[in-house]
Amino acid sequence: MQKIPHFIFATAAFWLITISCSSSKTNSSINNGLKEAYHSDFLIGAALNTGQIEERNAQSNALILSQFNAVTPENCMKAEHIHPAWDRYDFTIPDKLVAYSQKNKLKLNGHTLIWHSQLPAFARRIQRVDSFKTFFENHINTVASRYSGKIFSWDVVNEALNEDGTLRNSIFLQKLGPDYITEAFRLAEKASPNTELYYNDYNNEQPKKRAGCIELVKKVQAAGVRIDGVGIQGHWHLGKVPFKEIEESILAYHELGLKVMITELDIEVLPRNFQGADVAQRMASDPSLNPYAQGIPDSILQQQATDYENLFKLFLKHKDKITRVTFWGVDDGQSWLNGWPVPGRTNYPLLFDRQLQPKPAYHKLMGLKK
């Protein structure tokens, strides 16, 4: 047998030591992400899709576990997915999400029990009021009770208000009347008594919608029904983040004895001709609306970083009132804003890019805690 020179053993040992040190550094970096930086301030969350819940991508899973200590399902707990037929529920992916959150010690926010959008087709076909009421009650009781003790919080009612603060003319209002919101919280409290119960909406930092949200909350409270907090979704736009209105809203909701969550945070960089997050709104496709299909200028990323930094300075100022900040997705490639309100665009609203690498905004947020 040929004798192996000593220098080969030495070289191999050198590389083994180098790899070990590199791995140690990587693990150290992974273990000191956003969730650790803000651990004494508020929870840091992300919305997860089915692939992430099922851990299909190891790199993505490592990123999630290094950065976040709270999760929200992007879609799998919405009624059209979890309750596809009158007498049938599909708990396959929600159960996996519960197991994933328990295994990794993540706070799980259920999203959402009552929402006018993404309803199963059968529910929209119900004509009789008593039958629709039965669907409403059975849905809340079945879903909320199944996950009682396993879910930290529920978005009980989602997006029930118009921009002027009046109640949206949804199928729930049409069939059940204006008290359906109070009844939803009553049923959720009974089915899942140890779960925090929230009302969630977009643009509810704007004065008129905020006033409607306050009125909604006061009505639930006056009925003696528990409501623990309000979620401000936080779908904001580059250079147009309404800092003044956000702060006023945090203070106003806190005055009602409520916890405040930022529940679906992203900062969009692409143009559109309206504000808000109404999934029913659309814009016609046009190349001018997709200016960064081949890549985004660093100047835009730097502006986004400044917006995120100023937002988190505000959140830290009111950390005694804010309990959670959740991003609506993990990376840019996952974001719903690639397909709404214009399909097929290339958007860049989150802290991590399509290669799962941190963007300037991430470094700004970490820098705030150094």
Q: Are 71 and 108 a contacting pair, CB within 8 Å?
A: yes
Is the peptide bond preceding residue 112 cis, with omega within 30 degrees of 0? yes
Neighbour count for residue 26 (Cβ, 10 Å): 12
Q: Are 102 and 147 a contacting pair, CB within 8 Å?
A: no
Task: Give the Cα-Cα-Cα angle 108, 109, 110 (nearest 5 degrees).
Answer: 115
Q: Are 154 and 199 a contacting pair, CB within 8 Å?
A: no
What are the CB-based long-range contacts (under 8 Å, 24+) for 362-365? 362/34, 363/305, 364/305, 364/306, 364/308, 364/309, 364/312, 365/34, 365/37, 365/308, 365/309, 365/312
Query: And the tokens for 321?
Result: 């009132």
The label of the residue with tokens 């990376």 reads: 331
Bridge partner residues of 326 (DSSP): 45
Q: What is the DSSP letter of 328?
A: S
Among the listed residues 74, 159, 183, 268, the single catalytic one is 159
Beta-sheet pairing, 43-48 with 259-268: unpaired
Say how far apart CA 7 and CA 13 lie, in whole Å.
Answer: 10
Q: Are 110 and 134 a contacting pair, CB within 8 Å?
A: no
Among the listed residues 183, 189, 264, 268, the single catalytic one is 264
55 classed as catalytic: no
SS3 content of the chain, % helix, strand, coil (to 5): 45, 15, 40
Say how far apart CA 93 and CA 81 lie, in whole Å.
Answer: 9
Query: And the tokens for 37?
Result: 């930086």
Is the peptide bond preceding residue 341 cis, with omega within 30 degrees of 0? yes
Contact residues for 358 (Cβ-Cβ < 8 A; gap 6+): 351, 352
Contact residues for 352 (Cβ-Cβ < 8 A; gap 6+): 63, 330, 331, 332, 358, 359, 362
* Residues involved in catalysis: 159, 264
